[in-house]
Amino acid sequence: MSARDSGALAESLDSAFAGMTPLDRLRLLAERVKGRLVFTTSFGLEDQMLTHLVFANALPIEVVTLDTGRLFPETYALWRRTEETYGRRIRAKYPRGESLEALIEDQGIDGFYFGADMRKACCFARKVEPLSRALSGASGWVTGLRADQSANRHTMAFVAFDAAHGLIKANPLLDWSREAIRRFAEAEGLPVNPLHDRGFLSIGCAPCTRAVKPGEDERAGRWWWEAEGKKECGLHTVEGASASALNLAEGAGS
């Protein structure tokens, strides 16, 4: 499918998603988007809801996670528990060994604390580049993004054509609140990360995530030592995706 046709399909799906339930959105996406659909989970509250909808309804959507190597022990335990609950395997993508070795040789084991550029380099090696491999050959990408998580995400559409990855990107929970998802998880008895009850509302790598304080934004606990900004690692920004695509292209030609 050409970029123009994919863009038109994305616009059509974006309009159709309004007023639909998340399950119906996923079903419509699976029906209309031909080829591989990939859902990337980080085992947060939103992702557990989507994982449940995919597995419980046997939807033809692959569930993949990016194992950075520096996740919380609680996250790994939830990963195992989720697979046991649904009897399904969650595929993993890991950083390239050579890239990780070069990164740590250059900046040390915790170099990300000493500058935004160093932190972004770590995010790129551990998350952004592995994401590109996870999405390679896919036609659609499903995420657990919510509009009220940040100013950057507030401007996102339900469905859009992701030119950097060359696929359709869908956000079935974009108009859901955290509280609504929490109630769904409780009603359905979903396995969830115990860190949520300890103030970790947005959970990423262990060294880069802290519990939020009363009155703080949901993502204030991510990269807390940096000045306030987009609070993104590059997975959901044009800059990060474009850099990863370029990196893969250069690697393929070497």
Binding residues for [4Fe-4S] cluster: 122-123, 205, 208
Residue 111, by phi and psi: left (phi above 0), alpha (psi -120 to 50) or beta?
alpha
Instruction: Output phi, psi for 59, to 5 deg.
Output: -75, 145
Comparing CA positions, the residue from 164, 77, 73, 70 lying closest to residue 126 is: 70
DSSP assignment letter at 198: G
Q: Across-strand partners of 65?
A: 41, 92
Binding site residue list: 122-123, 205, 208
* 37/30 Cα distance (integer angstroms): 7
Active site residues: 233
Give just the sign of the alpha carbon dihedral 47, 50, 55, 60. negative
Distance separating alpha carbons of residues 160 and 170, to the nearest angstrom: 7
Cβ atoms < 10 Å from Cβ of 175: 15
Long-range contact list for 101-109, CB < 8 A, 24+ apart?
none
| Cβ atoms within 10 Å of 137's Cβ, excluding its own | 11
